[in-house]
Structure 1
Amino acid sequence: MRIDSHQHFWLFDPVKDAWITNDMKVIQRNFLPNDISKTLKDNRIDGAVLVQADQSLRETDFLVELAGAYKMVKAVVGWVDLRSDDIEEQLQRLSVHPIIKGFRHIIEAEADVDFLMQPTFQRGIKALTKHGYTYDLLIHPRHYSSTLKCVAAHPKQSFMLDHMAKPAVATGEFEEWATFIEELAAFPNVYCKISGLVTQADWNNWSVTDFERYVQHVIACFGKGRICFGSDWPVSLVASTYEEVLMIANTYMDEFSESERADFWGRNAVRFYHIT
C-alpha cells in the first residue's frame, strides 16, 4: 500500500484560516478529497493520512466525516485539547472512531519555548500513550530543547516529526537543525516525514539540489525504517505541483532496495499509524 502520510482538507474561512496569507492565494479556497483523488490514482498512491490544520474538535469531526465518505482516507490525525482536565474522557469518546490514529497540536505557533513540557500538556501525552494514540510533532526551532525533553519523558509514546522540523532551506541554515535531528532520531519511538520541503525553500526558484543535504541527513539519522513520504498537499501548491513533490522524494531513492522503497512509500506509515 502506497500512502501519502500528510494531507490537509478544509472549507476555507478567512478568519479561521488566517494563517493562509495573501501570498498563498492559490490555496485560499476549499480543498476536499475530490480535488486530489485522480492525482493520487494517476501516481499510484492508494490513500492518505489526513492531518488537522485547525485547533478545534470540529476539525477532528470534519476529518472523520471525510473518512466516512472517501475510501482514500486511511487515517486521521486530529486535534484534541491535551491540556484539558477531562482529556481521558475526551479520548474515550473519540475512541468510537477507529479511523483516528493520533493527534497533533500546532506547537510551532506557541511562543512558549517550553509549551510541550507544561504539566497539563505532559498529562495529555501520557493519556495518548495509555489509549494507544500517536502524536505528530510540528515545531519551531525555539522548541528543539523542549521537544527532546518531551520525547525523553515518554519512551512508550509513538512520535512523528512533521516536515523534518522545517529546515530553513531558503537561507541554507543547517548546523543547529542537523544537530537536533541527530539527537531526536536517537529515540527509537520517533519517526520522521520527508515532507513540507518546498515551502521551506524559495517558492519561485528552488531546485532539487537545494534539499539534498537535508534529506540525506534525515535518512542517515532515522534510517530507512522510520521515514515516510508526505506531500503536505495542498499547502505544497504554493511552491510546486503534486508531481514535483513526488519527484523530489524519488530523487533520493537510488540507494534504496525494493523493500526499503516499499517501506518509505507506505509500509512505514502503515506501521506507525496502525493502518489496516
Structure 2
Amino acid sequence: MRIDAHQHFWKFDPVRDAWIDESMQVIRKDFLPSDLEPILKKNNVDGCIAVQADQSEAETKFLLDMAQNNSFIKGVVGWVDLMSDSVEDRLAHFSKDKNLKGIRHIVQAEPNDFMLRSDFQNGISKLRQFNLTYDILVFAEQLPAAIELVEKFPEQPFVLDHIAKPKISEGLDKKWKAHIQELAKYENVSCKLSGMVTETKDFKWNGEAFTPFLDVVFNSFGEDRLLYGSDWPVCLLSSPYESVIKIIEDYVPKEYHTRIFYQNTVNFYSLDENL
C-alpha cells in the first residue's frame, strides 16, 4: 500500500489563483480527481491526502466534497480562519466530516513572525480537541517561528511541508540545516518529502542535487516521521509524477518504504487502516 500525503485539486480561476501566473501555463487549468486517479494507479499509489491551495472555507468544502465522491482521497487538509473569534465553531462544523484530517494556512505568504501572533496561536490551540493536525507551510527563513510554535504546543501534531522550501540549486544552507535539526527535536513534528523539484532554478534539476537535503531530513526526523508527498499538480512545473516519486523511491532504503510511503501517513493523519 502507498499513499501520497500531499497533492492539490482546483478548478482554475485566474483571479482567485493569481499565484499561478503566466509563467506557469502547464498548471493554469483544472486539476480534478479524474485527472489524478489514473496517475496514482500507474505509479502503484493507492490513495492521497488532498491539501488546500486557497484560503477559504469554500476550498475546504470543495475538497471534502471531492473526498466524499472519490474513495481514493483518504483525507483532507483544509482551511479555516485560525485567527477568527469563531474558530472553534468553524472547526466543529467542518469536523463533522470524518474526511477532515488537518488544517493549513499559507504562512509562506505572511511575515516571518506570523506564527507567533496570539490570535493565530489561539486557533492552533483549538485543533487538538477535534483530532486535527496542522501542516506547516513556510520558507526556510520562517523556520525559527515554526520552532517556537511547536515548542509551545507539544501535544499538537505538526508536519512540515516541502522541507521548508530550501533553494535546492544553491546547495545546502547551514542555517536551514540547523533549523531543521532543531525542529526535528520536537517529537510532535513530522516532515513531508515533497515540493523539492519546484525549488530549483528554472525548474531544472538532477537527482543528486536533492541528496544533501534528503540526508539532513532523514538523519533529523528518522524513518518514522517522514511522509512521501508529490505536490501534484504543482510538481508538473518541473517534473512528471513518475520523476517525483522516483527521487524518493531511489533515496529511501527499501526496508523503510512501507513506513515513508504508507504507514507514517496513516499514523499522522489518523487514517482508517482498512484502506
CA contact (8 A) 1:101 1:133 kept: yes
Q: Which residue of 2 aligns with 1:54?
A: 54
Task: Give deviations 1:182-239, integer Å, cap 9, x for gaps.
Answer: 0000000000000001001134531000100001110000000000100000000000
Q: Greater CA deviation, 163-172 or 53-62?
A: 163-172
Q: Tell me if structure 1 keeps the 8 A contact 2:172–2:213.
A: no
Check if 1:263 corresponds to 2:259: yes
Return 214-223 or 164-173, whichever deviates more: 164-173
Identify unmatched segments of 5+ residues in structure 2.
none
- Structure 1 gap ranges (5+): none
CA distance, structure 2, for counterparts of residue 241 and residue 203 of structure 1 = 15
Give the equivalent residue in structure 2 for 1:114: 113
TM-score normalised by structure 2 residue count? 0.97
Distance 2:67 2:204 in 1: 36
**Counterpart of 2:131?**
132
Residue in structure 2 matched with residue 105 of structure 1 by the alignment = 105
Q: Normalising to structure 1: TM-score of the pair?
A: 0.96
Indicate the residue corresponding to 2:45 in structure 1: 45
Aligned partners of 2:69 and 2:120: how far apart in 1? 32
What SS class does the counterpart of residue 36 from structure 1 fall into? helix
SS across alignment from 1:12:
coil
How far the C-alpha of 1:248 sits from its partner, in A, is: 0.7
* Secondary structure of 1:200's aligned partner: coil
Q: Whole-Å Cα distance in 1 between the matches of residues 129 and 202 of structure 2? A: 41
- Whether 1:31 aligns to 2:38 is no
* Residue number in structure 2 paired with 1:69: 69
8 Å Cα contact 1:203/1:238 also seen in 2: no
Code of the aligned partner of 2:17: D
Aligned to 1:194: 193
Q: Is the partner of 1:136 in helix, strand or coil?
A: strand
Runs (4 or more) in structure 1 with deviation over 4 Å come to none
Tell me the matched-pair count.
Answer: 272
- Is 1:274 aligned to residue 241 of structure 2? no
CA distance in 1, matches of 2:130, 2:69: 26
Counterparts of 2:109 and 2:250, CA distance in 1: 31
**Which secondary structure state, in structure 1, belongs to the residue aligned with residue 135 of structure 2?**
strand
Comparing 124-133 and 238-247, the one that deviates more: 124-133
Shift of 1:114: 1.4
Residue 71 of structure 1 deviates from its aligned partner by 0.9
Shift of 1:173: 4.4
Contact 2:139 2:166 survives alignment (8 Å): no
Q: In structure 2, the residue corresponding to 1:274 is in which secondary structure?
A: coil
For residues 1-276 of structure 1, the aligned pairs below 5 Å read 1-110=1-110, 112-253=111-252, 255-257=253-255, 260-276=256-272
